[in-house]
Structure 1
């Protein structure tokens, strides 16, 4: 487990930055896992265009995974400003460089889905309050007129790893603050979704209840008998019909398979490329695009190096993000993706 934990830390925090100017905003009543105040970060630019990022960083569910020698997540506030990931970089060719940016740190170990306090270690309270933190943050930012959500013309929400799950979950949290005319885009970078049969057995009843309840709010009705969530995403995509959606996933994602999914990378690949994998489930929905890379990499849009990784159709992660947003750099790739991907998947499974 120590090897995998080191892999996560290297993956999640080795980020090439082109920094923004962040304003730290404390959210009243919100807490990181260790009880310290939860804060969000805002870089104000164009007031009617907003880029929201949900930070990733593992998860925990026990004394060992939360407090052990190699914990699987962080439970404390950021030590400084957020590291600026590829999506928020201020450089030519980035359509989001002039957007205001709102950054949600991750420090509760619950993929932004928790609503309860846990006691895994004697004398320590762990605040699995990721869901209540985000709800409180939107309410506070709106009430204090920090962000005028109803006047946004363009909103892009993206998250990576645990943050990819959080970004999808909190589309429902955002709904009351948005108007129909806002152009809405969501990019979920490596949310997993293809977990093993025993995926749910590791969690406490309270944490499982939180996950199932938050999933249900977006139309995902999961069962604790199976961690294969991708086949259940159809109602989610239907509920989010007013969003442009991009889902990114590698076939042999080491983190989402071995560390959290209770499954081997090879078995994970078979699920991703199978008839109920996320590409096939998303195909009937015109507002949803998928990007499947046949690699072990976990997350792609954090760093310049991984943003150049190509999927099974030859499209880079960065070009996919642009295409989801509506910028087509390669008309060949953007045409007939589903039919070509079906052929690619069929050959890959046979091999």
Structure 2
């Protein structure tokens, strides 16, 4: 009863004070979003020994059409609606949340470059600041300076944030060598067209791992992470017909609306991409039916079940540093 009363009072305080009751904004000198506006990130304090590093999603852009001022394919400035909705892993007062009581570092995304860009590009009359790498480095420097000895770390992100998580995991893993670390990409399996120009256009910072090519496929990065850091747990989640991932794959092919053939093509390539790293014992995945995009920011995190395995139990095992079973519909 006392715990319930405390939670009710905490919720009332949150309503009265807004986001400030849970989240502290940290300004980043020199940080910049796509449209030139300033960058900042957010920290929800908790146990300093348990650290959740969470990369925000929000699309991408790579040419004049997708990067234009009227384009809706990417975030152009800091937008933290996930925090306000307080669903999924953002429900900070739910004891069912696998990260209840953890320190949660929310890394906003506003550069259209999957968190790895190091370029400002003129797309014919307008510029886009693809400076995601600069912003993330500032966040990680803050984290490394202020959390020197965590015992558990969970690196994750939804959509474009899934790429941020896997592309920057090597930096976290090489810094915290004694911590129990799990990396989980949510709805970012990396299916792309041959010759996709984005990574070169953004002058991307990609992982520094043994055996990787200059422009590796995402499934190669998952496998390289698992092999290079065998004590870590590497994982990913997706639905088998993720509508948003199919939409972006269609854009890469020049389709403004995905054709049925493109959707089928994506589904085949996506399952291949998820399965390929499975040769590593410390790699796992959760494939769910349907077309929903992302699960970590959604209430379905607490209700989804495929076969005998609930997603919540699967995620909780990851948070505890265990390798949960591989799940397919």
Fold agreement, TM-score > 0.5: yes
Query: 1:301-337: CA deviations, max 9, x gaps?
Result: 21103653344x4533333212322499xxxx956x4
CA drift at 1:68: 4.4
Aligned residues: 301
Q: Which residue of structure 2 lines up, in the alignment, with residue 221 of structure 1?
A: 213
In the alignment, is the contact (CA less than 8 A) between 1:301 and 1:317 conserved in 2? no
Report the TM-score, using the length of structure 1 for normalisation: 0.75
Measured in 2, the distance between the counterparts of 1:218 and 1:317 equals: 32
Query: 1:223-271: CA deviations, max 9, x gaps?
Result: 59xxx64366422321232321221022211221232354722112222
Superposition CA RMSD, Å: 3.1
In the alignment, is the contact (CA less than 8 A) between 1:244 and 1:325 conserved in 2? no
In the alignment, is the contact (CA less than 8 A) between 1:278 and 1:290 conserved in 2? yes
Q: Which residue of structure 2 lines up, in the alignment, with residue 104 of structure 1?
A: 107
Q: Secondary structure at the match of 1:247?
A: strand
CA 1:232–1:99 in structure 2 vs 1: closer, same or farther (change >3 Å)?
A: closer
**Structure 2: stretches of 5+ with no match in the other structure:** 1-14, 254-261
CA 1:151–1:216 in structure 2 vs 1: closer, same or farther (change >3 Å)?
A: closer
CA drift at 1:161: 0.4
Measured in 2, the distance between the counterparts of 1:142 and 1:301 equals: 24
Measured in 2, the distance between the counterparts of 1:140 and 1:81 equals: 22
**Structure 1: stretches of 5+ with no match in the other structure:** 1-16, 345-351
In the alignment, is the contact (CA less than 8 A) between 2:182 and 2:321 conserved in 1? no
Query: 1:126-180: CA deviations, max 9, x gaps?
Result: 210111211122224444xxx22x21111111100000010111112324542x2
Q: Secondary structure at the match of 1:245?
A: strand
Query: 5 Å matches for 1:15-26?
Result: 21-26=22-27
Q: Secondary structure at the match of 2:290?
A: coil
In the alignment, is the contact (CA less than 8 A) between 2:191 and 2:249 conserved in 1? no
Report the TM-score, using the length of structure 2 for normalisation: 0.80
Q: Which residue of structure 2 lines up, in the alignment, with residue 71 of structure 1?
A: 72
Q: Is 1:30 aligned with 2:31?
A: yes
In the alignment, is the contact (CA less than 8 A) between 1:154 and 1:182 conserved in 2? yes
CA drift at 1:99: 0.6
CA 1:85–1:186 in structure 2 vs 1: closer, same or farther (change >3 Å)?
A: farther
CA 1:232–1:158 in structure 2 vs 1: closer, same or farther (change >3 Å)?
A: closer
In the alignment, is the contact (CA less than 8 A) between 1:194 and 1:230 conserved in 2? no
Query: 5 Å matches for 1:244-323?
Result: 244-260=233-249, 262=252, 264-273=262-271, 276-279=272-275, 281-305=276-300, 307-311=302-306, 313-323=307-317
CA 1:222–1:195 in structure 2 vs 1: closer, same or farther (change >3 Å)?
A: farther
CA drift at 1:81: 8.3
Counterpart pick for 1:136 among 135, 138, 143: 138
CA drift at 1:28: 1.6
Q: Which residue of structure 2 lines up, in the alignment, with residue 10 of structure 1?
A: none
In the alignment, is the contact (CA less than 8 A) between 2:170 and 2:207 conserved in 1? no
Q: Which residue of structure 2 lines up, in the alignment, with residue 154 of structure 1?
A: 152
CA 1:218–1:173 in structure 2 vs 1: closer, same or farther (change >3 Å)?
A: farther
Measured in 1, the distance between the counterparts of 2:42 and 2:135 equals: 14
Measured in 2, the distance between the counterparts of 1:301 and 1:218 equals: 30
Measured in 2, the distance between the counterparts of 1:218 and 1:21 equals: 39
Q: Which residue of structure 1 lines up, in the alignment, with residue 123 of structure 2?
A: 120
In the alignment, is the contact (CA less than 8 A) between 1:119 and 1:126 conserved in 2? yes
Q: Which residue of structure 2 lines up, in the alignment, with residue 239 of structure 1?
A: 228
